C-alpha cells in the first residue's frame, strides 16, 4: 500500500481500519509488526484502529488516542 500524501504540507499517513479483526494473537502481532516496519521504511505515520489489543500488540504502539462512545477524547498520548 502507498502512504497517502497531501500536497499542502507533504504529510504522510498509512491508514488501517481494524487490520487485526478476526485474526489470532500471532497473526495480529505479525500484522502490527508489518505495519510498523512499513511505516518506518516509508517514513510515514501509521494510523490504526484496533479493538482490545493483546499486551504484545499494545507494547508495539507508540501513541494512542482513546475515544469515549460519544467520540470525546478520553486520553491522547504515549502508551
**Hey, CA dihedral for 49, 15, 17, 32, is it positive or negative?**
negative
Tens of pLDDT along the chain (79 residues) come to 444 554 455 558 889 999 999 999 999 999 999 999 999 988 899 999 998 999 999 999 999 999 999 999 999 999 8
Which residues fall within 8 angstroms of residue 3, CB to CB, at 6 or more apart? Answer: 12, 13, 14, 39, 42, 44
Amino acid at each position: 500500500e502507498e502512504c497517502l500524501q497531501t500536497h499542502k504540507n507533504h504529510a504522510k499517513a498509512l491508514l488501517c481500519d481494524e487490520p487485526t479483526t478476526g485474526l489470532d494473537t500471532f497473526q495480529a502481532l505479525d500484522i502490527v509488526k508489518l505495519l510498523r516496519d512499513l511505516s518506518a521504511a516509508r517514513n510515514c505515520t501509521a494510523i490504526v484502529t484496533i479493538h482490545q489489543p493483546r499486551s504484545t500488540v499494545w507494547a508495539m504502539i507508540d501513541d494512542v488516542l482513546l475515544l469515549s462512545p460519544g467520540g470525546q477524547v478520553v486520553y491522547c498520548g504515549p502508551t
